[in-house]
Amino acid sequence: MKVLVAVKRVVDSGIKVRVKPEGIDLQGVKMTINPFCEIAVEEAVRLKEKKLIAEIVAVTIGPKQGAESLRHALALGADKAIHVTTEARIDQAVQPLDVANILAKLVERDNYNLVLMGKQSIDDDFNQTGQMLAGLLDWPQATFASNIQITDGVAQVIREIDGGLQTVKFKLPGVITCDLRLNQPRFASVPNIMKAKSKPLETIPLDKLGKLHNSIQITKTEAPAVRKGGAIVENVDVLLQKLRTEAKLF
């Protein structure tokens, strides 16, 4: 069984981002693998360790620094990597439907049995790519996975949903997107980082697989409003007055 794991390179979650007119300031900012994508890679590696899958291929879309996320995935245990290169801003111009189309092309080219992805990326939080990919391939999907079992070509996934937990079962091939509680990724050990350098990495320019349509336009990026101090009021009358005159609620 072959698994495709899609990973995205995003601004590190610990960084306090700065806003420029054209968007988030990415200059010199620390970038890492999207946490949910890392969880997907870890899950693929665990499935391989249980001998349920034979090969893991990691793919990313982005500029040449995107290869860092692929090297990280290879160091965690992926076997091969594919780098779809583009100079477009991955946090703005590389959008879910276009990504899904590109991944669908790769699935058709290489015949994967399973696609694992993070449920969403922490820069745009779209939470759409996995679902769109399944739709384009006409495959079953299980999103927000917190547990994955595979037996005899059938995947059983526990999903985290608003009401609690839902268990779904489907015959592979399919798309599964990964949620926080699925696993805790291992650290990339120094010997594995060294081994990763010699694992195969294929580079494909984006226009060989698809196109960026920019169908979603970002019109404005703002920093969140500065938090104003609160005030303690003496009684409900003052509260109602403030709600009317200051908060203008009614």
Partner 1 sequence: MLKKFTRFLFSREKIQYDVLIVGAGPAGLSAAIRIKELDPNKSVVVIEKSGTLGGHILSGNCFQPTAMNELFPNWEKMENKPPLDTPVSEDHFHILWNEKLSLQIPHMFYPSTIRNHGNYVISLGDLCVWMGEQAQALGVDIFTSTAGARVIFDEKDRVIGVATGDMGIAKNGEKKSNYQEGIDIVANQTILCEGARGSITERVIEKYNLRKDCEPQSYGIGLKEVWEVPPEDFKAGLVQHTVGWPLCRNTYGGSFLYHKNTNQIHLGLVVGLDYENPNLSPYQEFQNLKKHPKISRFLKNGTCISYGARVLNEGGYFSIPKLTFPGGMLAGCSAGFLNVMKIKGSHNAMKSGMLAAETICAKQNVEPGQELVEYENAVKSSWIYDELYRSRNFKGSFKYNIYSGLFYGAFDGFISKGREPWNIKSHVKESESYLTKDKAPQIKYEKPDGKLTFDLLDNLARSGTNHEHDQPAHLKVIKEAGPKESINLYDGPEQRFCPAKVYEFIDTKEGKKLQINAQNCLHCKTCDIKMPKDYIRWTVPEAGGGPNYSGM
The residues binding partner 1 (CB under 8 A) are: 12, 14-16, 18, 28-30, 32, 183-187, 189-191, 193-194
Comparing CA positions, the residue from 164, 233, 193 lying closest to residue 77 is: 193
101 vs 221 by CB, closer to partner 1: 221
Minimum Å distance from CB 18 to partner 1? 6
Question: Closer to partner 1 at the Cβ: 76 or 209?
Answer: 76
Question: How many other CB atoms sit within 10 Å of the CB of residue 81?
Answer: 25
Strands (E), 35-173: 55-62, 80-85, 114-118, 141-151, 154-161, 164-171
Identify which of residues 46 and 105 has a Cβ nearer to partner 1 in the complex.
46
Residue 185 Cβ, how far from partner 1 at the closest point, in Å? 7
Spatial distance between the Cα atoms of 225 and 128, rounded to a whole number of angstroms: 27
**Best CA proximity match to 57, nearest among 195, 48, 188, 126:** 48
| Rounded least distance, CB 30 to partner 1, Å | 5
Closest contact distance (angstroms) between CB of 38 and partner 1 is 11
Nearest to 64 by CA among 9, 119, 1: 9
Nearer to partner 1 among residue 38 and residue 98 (C-beta):
38
